[in-house]
Chain A
Amino acid sequence: MIGKPLRRVEDLPLLLGTGRFAADISLPGQAHLRVVRSPVPHGMLRGVDGRKALSMPGVIGVWSAADLDLGPIGFRMVAFPGMLPYRQPVLAAERVRYVGEPVAIVLADDPYRAEDAADLVELDIESLPPVLDQLQEPAQFDDQNDTEALLHEDGYGDVGAAFAAAPHVVELTVTVGRHTGVPLECRGALADYRPGAGTLDFYGAAKVPHQNRLLLAGLLGLPPQLVVLREAHVGGGFGVRGEVYPEDVLVCWASRLLGRPVKWIEDRNEHLLAANHSRDQVHRIRAAVLADGYITAIDDEFWLDQGAYVRTHAAAVPTLTASMLPGPYQIPAYRVRGHVRLTNKTPAGTYRAPGRYEGTFARERLIDAVASSLGKPAMEIRLSNFISPDQMPYARPMSALGTDLEYDSGDYALLVGKAQARFGLAELEHGLAARRALGEAVGMGCAFFVEKSGLGPYEAVRISVDQSGHIDIITGAGSMGQGFETVITQICAQELGVRPETIRVLHGQTDQIEHAMGAFASRLTVMAGSATLIAAQALREKALAAAARMLEASPRDLELSDGAVRVAGDPDTGISLAQISEALRPDQAARWGLEPSLTADGWHTTDHMCYPYGLHIAVVRVDAGTGQVIAERLLVAYDVGRAVNPMLVEGQIVGGAAQGLGGALLEEFRYDDAGHPQCTTFMDYLLPTRAEMPPVDVLITEDAPSPRNPLGVKGAGEGGTTAMGAAIAAAIDAALGVPLGVKELPVHPEAALRLAKAARRESTSEPGGA
C-alpha cells in the first residue's frame, strides 16, 4: 500500500459539485459582512462616516476601529520582541498603511446590500507620502520606530579572513519580484456565536486551525475550548490561506456583538489586495572562491519588502532565507544580514518555498557567476562544493524555524548523476546547441537546492474502529487539497491490513482532538503520517491483546491481516476488527484489564526538520524578436526519502514547478509611483494557464530516507518550486548567450528583449549606440 499510486480517496464530492468550501456553507439567520478598505496607500485617518450606509435598506450596522476593543493580531511563528510594534490592527485606527487595509465593516442581511452600503461609507483620510522601496533608507513608522522592523544577522566562520585570502571574489545583485500563492478559492469565514452557551463556531478555517484557535480566543478573551474552528474543503493554500487575518477576527467579533451568525466571503479584487503577498527580496551576494572553484565563504545582504505590517509569520521568511541560503554546499564561512523593511504595500508572508525560492535564486545565480568567471561548467562548481554523503548528518551552526539546522541525509552528486542519465542531459544539450547553430535562441539551465520539511515539534493522530469495522482517523492537521487524506489512509491501511474504503480521515476540527500544529512547511506526511503509523501500531497491539482474550491464545501467536486477527497458520480463526471493537465495550474491557474501545492515539515529536533536495532543469526558447520566453520543458529530480504515494508526489512537484515558472516569467504585484496597486484582477496578475505549462518530467528518488521518522519520508510540497526561478534564469542566459544576463525575476518580454539586443551587440561587436 505504501509506495503505490493509490487513487485519491477524497475525490468524489469535489467531482460531483458537492464539496463544502467556505462559501458553500450557510447558517440560518446569517448576516453578511463587507469590509471598507483604504483607497490610499498611506494617510492619517481623520474620520469614518457611516450615516449614509446606515440609511440603506437591510443594513444592520457600520463599525470602525473606535468601536472595537481588540488588540493587534499576534505572531504564530518565529518572532523577535522588536517586531511587536509592527503587528497589524484588526481595523486601522489612526493611520492607513496600504491600499486595501480594513478601515470599517458593514453588516447587512444580504451580501449585495452589504456591498452597496460599504461603497457609501465615507472616509476622511489625509494622505501622506508612501514608502515603496525597501532599498530606501528607513523612514518613520510611528513615534518610536522606523520602518526597519528587523535586521536579522546570522552566520558562522571567519568570513573576513576567507575573503582576504581568496584569489577570486564574485559579487552580484539579484532581485525576486513580489508574487504570492493566489489560491483559486478566495478566503471566507462564517462565525456563529451562541449567546447563553457562550460558544463560538468558526467555519472556513484552514492550514492551522488549532494554532488559530489560540490566537482568536486570545484576541476575543474567550476560553479556547469554547472556540471551535472547523476546516471545510480548502481551494488551495500555498502558504497564504489559513493564517489569521483581520477579517477572521471581525466575523467573530461581529457574531458575538449581534448574537447571530456572520459570514464574510472575499472577492478576487480584495484577495489580491488583502491576502499575504510574498517574495520581493533584493540580494547583494558575494563569494570568496579558490582557483579550483571551491567556495570558502558567502557574504549576503538582503532587503525584504515586508509591506505595511508584520503578520502572523513574523520573522519566518527572513530567517528561512538566511539559514537555507547556503543550500547544498559546504561553505565553511557564511555571513548574512537581512533587512526587513516596511513599505506601504499589502503585508507579506509565506508562499510555497518561502525564503528558499529567493535565496536559491541568489545562490544559484552566484554559482553561475563563479562558473562564468572561472570559465568552468556550473555543474562542476556545484559538484566540487557539495556536502558529501559521508558528512551527513551535516550541521550548520545556525537555526531554522527554531530548530538546529542539521541536514539529516542526502547524496547530492548521486541525484545529479541519476538526473543526467534519466533525462539524457548531454543529448538534450547537444540538440539545443544544434538548434542554436541554426539561429534559434534556445537554452538549458540547471539549479540545485535543498528543501526543508517536516517541521515539529509534534503532531497527533487518533484511530478508532467502530462496531462495523469502519475506521476513523482523526488529526488536527489540515488538508489544503494535496491528497493528505489519501496518504494517511495508505499508511493506516498498510499497518492494519484493511481496505482503504473502510477508512475515513477527519481533519482540522479543533473539537475532535486536543493538539495539532497544522498544514504548513511540507510537514504533513512526515509528522501526521508518522503519527498515523505510530497510532496504527498501537491500535494493532490493542486489537491483538483483545483478540488474545477472545481466542484464548497468546498475542504472540496472533497476526493481523485483511482486517482480521488470526492464530498464525490457522486461517479459520479470524476475528474481525469489527468484532474486536464490539467486544471492547467498557464492562468487558474492564474485565480484561484493557481500556475500552478499539481506539489508539499516536504522537510523533521531533526537534529537527528533514531535508529533501533536488535538481531543477529548464529548457526555454526566447523569441529574440519580441522577448517572449517560452518554457519548452521542465525537468525535476527530487529525493523525498520515501514516497508514500508517488502519483501524489508527482502532482505536488508538477504544480509547484508551475508556480515557480509563474514567478519567473509572469506573476508580479506592481505598484505605481503613488503606491497604487496595479494588479488587482486576473488580467493584471497573470497566473500560468495550460498554454504556458510545458511538459514536466519528474524523477522521484528514494536514496536518502530520513532517519528522523519511522517512515523515512521527507516532504514534497515545495520541492517543485524552489529552484525553478534560478533554473529558468540560467536557461534564458544560455538561450541568448549572455552569462548572468538575468538578475531579476520575473523576466518580462521587454527585459528579455534588452538581453537579446545586448547579445546581438556582443556577437557583432558593433558599437553600442542606442
Chain B
Amino acid sequence: MDGEIAALPAERGPSAQAVTLTINGEPRPLRIEPRVSLLDALREHLGLTGSKKGCDQGTCGACTVWVDGRRALACLTLAVTCEGHEVTTIEGLSAGGELHPMQAAFIDKDAFQCGYCTPGQIMSAVALLDEGHAADDGQIREWMSGNICRCAAYPNIRAAIRAVRDAAGGE
C-alpha cells in the first residue's frame, strides 16, 4: 500500500452518533445514524432544504452539492463520511444575500420553470466553469448531462452558463 494507516477509528452506530459537519464554512454539530445520507442530514437535520431530492439514487442531479469544492451527489454520500471535509450547498453560494452571477444569469436567461432542479443545476454549473468544462456547447452538454430538467429548460441553462463564462472571460 502507498502509505501507513494511523489508527483504526472505532465502530459507530447503528444508533445516532454525534457528528460535526462543516457546511458552508460553519461547523454544524448534529446527531445522526451512520446510515443517514448527506442529503437527509442537510434537509431533515440542519434545515437546509435548498438541496433537492429528485430520485435519491444518483440519477437526476437535483441534490448536487460540493464536497471539498468538487461536485458530488448528496443522496449517495453518507453524512458521516463528510467529517473533516468542506460541504457547500446552494445556501452557501450567495454571500451576504448577493446573487451569485450564475443565479443572476438564470433569471436573465429564463433558465428554469418549476425551479426544483435549479439548485442542483446551479451548483453543477458553477463547478463546471471552475473545472474548465464549459469551453463549447458540446462540453456543456456532456458535463451537465447528470442534471435532469423535466421542464427541459436546457437551452436556456446553456445560455446562462455561456453568459457567465463569457463575462468572466472578459469577452
Contacts and interface: CB of A to CB of B under 8 A. Distances in A.
Interface stretch (A19-27, A294-302, A410-418, A729-737): A19-27
A23 B43 contact: yes
A509 B148 CA distance: 30
A18 B48 CA distance: 9
Interface in A660-700: 681-683, 687-691, 693, 695-696
Given A17-B50, A23-B53, A480 B114 contact: yes
B50 A184 contact: no
Given A691-B142, A691-B145, A235 B115 contact: yes
Given A17-B51, A17-B89, A112-B36, A658 B152 contact: yes
Contacts of A687: 148, 150
A483 interface: yes
A181, A482, A483, A690, most chain B CB atoms within 10 A: A690
A184 B116 contact: yes
Interface stretch (B3-11, B56-64, B78-86): B56-64
A638 interface: no
Contacts of A481: 113-116, 151
A233 interface: yes
Interface in A62-117: 111-112
B90 interface: yes
B46 interface: no
B170 to A, nearest CB: 25
B55 A268 contact: yes
A189 B146 CA distance: 28
Interface string B37-71: 00000011000111111111101101000000000
B59 A19 contact: no
Contacts of B89: 17
A146 interface: no
A482 B54 contact: no
Contacts of B33: 112
A561 to B, nearest CB: 28
B150 A238 contact: yes
Contacts of A17: 48-51, 89-91, 119
A24 B108 contact: no
A648 B156 CA distance: 12
B150 A182 contact: yes
Contacts, number: 157
A184 B60 contact: yes
B150 A183 contact: yes
Interface stretch (A8-16, A391-399, A451-459): A8-16
B110 A651 contact: yes
B107 A8 contact: yes
A183 B149 CA distance: 9
A534 to B, nearest CB: 27
Interface majority SS (helix, strand, loop, mixed), chain A: loop
Contacts of B116: 19, 21, 183-185, 233, 235-236, 481
Q: What's the interface size class on B, roughly?
A: 35 or more
Contacts of B60: 184, 268, 682
A7, A655, A683, A688, most chain B CB atoms within 10 A: A655
Contacts of B48: 17
A238 B114 CA distance: 11
Contacts of B115: 10-11, 14-15, 19, 233, 235, 481
B31 interface: no
Interface in B117-149: 117-119, 122, 140-142, 144-145, 147-149
A184 B152 contact: no
A15 B145 contact: no
B41 to A, nearest CB: 12
A181 B151 CA distance: 10
A652 B112 CA distance: 10
B17 interface: no
B118 A234 contact: no
A233 B119 CA distance: 14
Contacts of B144: 690
A659 interface: yes
A693 B157 CA distance: 12
Given A268-B56, A654-B153, A14 B112 contact: yes
A169 interface: no
B107 A11 contact: yes
B118 to A, nearest CB: 5
Nearest to B47: A26
A18 B152 CA distance: 22
A236 B118 CA distance: 12
A647 interface: yes
A571 B144 CA distance: 54
Contacts of A651: 110, 113, 151, 153, 156
Contact of A184 (B54, B103, B108): B54
A7 B107 contact: yes
Given A234-B114, A481-B114, A655-B153, A15 B55 contact: no
A696 B94 contact: no
A654 B151 CA distance: 9
Nearest to A234: B114
Contacts of B55: 268, 681-682
Nearest to A480: B114
Given A11-B107, A15-B107, A24-B49, A185 B114 contact: yes
A661 to B, nearest CB: 9
A587 interface: no
A637 to B, nearest CB: 17
A405 B90 CA distance: 48
A14 B113 CA distance: 10
Nearest to A682: B59
A655 B107 contact: no
A185 B52 contact: yes
Interface string A268-300: 100000000000000000000000000000000
Nearest to A182: B150
A562 interface: no
Contacts of A482: 113
B102 to A, nearest CB: 9
B110 A7 contact: yes
A654 B57 contact: no
Nearest to A181: B150
Contacts of B157: 690
Contacts of B107: 7-8, 11-12, 15
Contact of B110 (A184, A648, A696): A648
B99, B114, B150, most chain A CB atoms within 10 A: B114
Nearest to B92: A17
Nearest to A25: B49
A471 to B, nearest CB: 22
A267 interface: yes
B35 interface: yes
Contacts of A659: 150, 152
B155 interface: yes
Contacts of B53: 23, 186
Contacts of B118: 14-15
B158 interface: yes
Contact of A681 (B57, B106, B150): B57
Interface of A: 7-8, 10-12, 14-19, 21, 23-24, 111-112, 181-186, 233-238, 267-268, 480-483, 647-648, 651-652, 654-655, 657-659, 681-683, 687-691, 693, 695-696
- Listed from nearest, the 4 A-B pairs whose CB atoms lie closest are A17-B50, A481-B114, A235-B116, A14-B115
22 contacts: A7-B108, A11-B112, A15-B118, A16-B90, A16-B94, A17-B89, A18-B50, A19-B115, A21-B52, A112-B33, A186-B54, A236-B150, A268-B56, A481-B113, A651-B153, A655-B153, A681-B59, A682-B55, A683-B59, A690-B140, A690-B144, A690-B157
Given A480-B114, A652-B113, 8 more contacts: A17-B50, A23-B53, A181-B150, A234-B114, A481-B113, A654-B153, A690-B147, A695-B155
Interface of B: 33, 35-36, 43-44, 48-57, 59-60, 62, 89-91, 94, 99, 103, 106-108, 110, 112-119, 122, 140-142, 144-145, 147-158
